[in-house]
Structure 1
């Protein structure tokens, strides 16, 4: 059985280039921990699965290699990488630094923009809460990402979200491994609610404190994650 046998072939948008779409699909499969470290991504299989030529497959794999989500062994194999804790910590540092400043900016928005933001954030919170009952991990993960992306857009630094996402593959995998732990989904939504309420009050300090707690959640459980998934994490990370 091939590694993609149980994954439905995606319908590619023929109005867009194939390589970025293949990259997006494979990246999500890796970040959502559907493809485990050590999984061999064979070009011939990918060509058949996506129904395209080898060139966009090669380009997609090269982009995954740039994000260190795969290890490429020329003329041999492309393998899903293990989680690098150093890379995860660096991504966490970058994201925290940016988002702390974003929250400061959001708390001084003009009233009209602030009110519009609050309506969007509260709508997003409703989606997150709906994902808790019944619990839908995939839906919650998407809503989590959308919540933070909204903050970047509202602060008029949307392009920085793409930068953060590019650097966050390893820490995002840690989060997905930790997400099913009992109480973790509820904690994520609770943290988001605290951030939203602080923004509503225009209390930048409270918003930043809630963000620090939120982003530190996964990294504080690294030792536990390593014990549960010893083959997923680089030993000297």
Structure 2
């Protein structure tokens, strides 16, 4: 059975290379937990779905393998990987370390760029609020990512967002499993508001405290996620 039978066909931009577009499309499907662990990704089926040859499909799958989002068994199959808790914890550590430094930089911005940052962050908060009522989980997830990316860009370390994103596939999947839980969407927006308020007052310690609470939110529920989705998780426990 085609793994993408219920996924709308992707209209590729013919002015761009196909492989990066296929990679992004498949990555989004995996990270948004639309493709479950163990789902077999057949090159021929993917090529038919995307309307392209198997070469860019192969390249896209190799990139997904580099991010450990798929397990590639040569001459056999490529399957969506389970969530690796060890990789998730490392990605969390990396992101927290970088974003704590970013907040220090943002709280020290001169007045003009600081005002522009506040305008953009408040606009992002408005989008997040709109995604709460009625609740639109995919829209909120995108707004959440965009909120953090805004801070990287404002601190002039935008390329680090690409690095963090590349490492965060496993922890992002944990977040998506946890996101629909009652009260979780509201908690995300509440945490973002606390971060924005601290940046507005250029209060770095308060911003760092709010960020630590925000990023720890999902990991605090790892045991519950493991209990509810045991087929999704691999923890390397002895």
Alignment TM-score, normalising by the size of structure 1: 0.99
CA shift, 1:235, in A, is 4.3
List aligned pairs for 1:64-143, cutoff 5 A: 64-143=64-143
| 8 Å Cα contact 2:32-2:173 kept in structure 1 | yes
Alpha-carbon separation, structure 1, partners of 2:202 and 2:132? 27
Which residue number in structure 2 is paired with residue 157 of structure 1? Answer: 157
Alpha-carbon separation, structure 2, partners of 1:147 and 1:84? 25
User: Once the two structures are superposed, what CA deviation does each residue of 1:64-85 show, in whole Å capped at 9, x if it has no partner?
Assistant: 0000000000000000000000
CA shift, 1:211, in A, is 0.2
CA shift, 1:111, in A, is 0.2
* Other structure's SS at 2:99 match: helix
Structure 1: which 5+ runs fail to align?
Answer: none
Alpha-carbon separation, structure 2, partners of 1:27 and 1:122? 28
Alpha-carbon separation, structure 2, partners of 1:167 and 1:197? 28
Which residue number in structure 1 is paired with residue 170 of structure 2? Answer: 170
Alpha-carbon separation, structure 1, partners of 2:58 and 2:10? 17
Alpha-carbon separation, structure 2, partners of 1:180 and 1:120? 26
Which residue number in structure 2 is paired with residue 41 of structure 1? Answer: 41
CA shift, 1:236, in A, is 1.9
Aligned length: 237
Which residue number in structure 1 is paired with residue 60 of structure 2? Answer: 60
CA shift, 1:2, in A, is 1.8
Structure 1 stretches of 4+ moved >6 Å: none
* Other structure's SS at 2:36 match: coil
User: Once the two structures are superposed, what CA deviation does each residue of 1:109-134 show, in whole Å capped at 9, x if it has no partner?
Assistant: 00000000000000000000000000
| 8 Å Cα contact 2:42-2:78 kept in structure 1 | yes
CA shift, 1:3, in A, is 1.4
Alpha-carbon separation, structure 2, partners of 1:200 and 1:234? 40
User: Once the two structures are superposed, what CA deviation does each residue of 1:36-73 show, in whole Å capped at 9, x if it has no partner?
Assistant: 00000000100100000011000000000000000000
Alpha-carbon separation, structure 1, partners of 2:147 and 2:40? 33
* Other structure's SS at 1:79 match: strand
* Other structure's SS at 1:72 match: strand
Structure 2: which 5+ runs fail to align?
Answer: none
| 8 Å Cα contact 2:86-2:235 kept in structure 1 | no
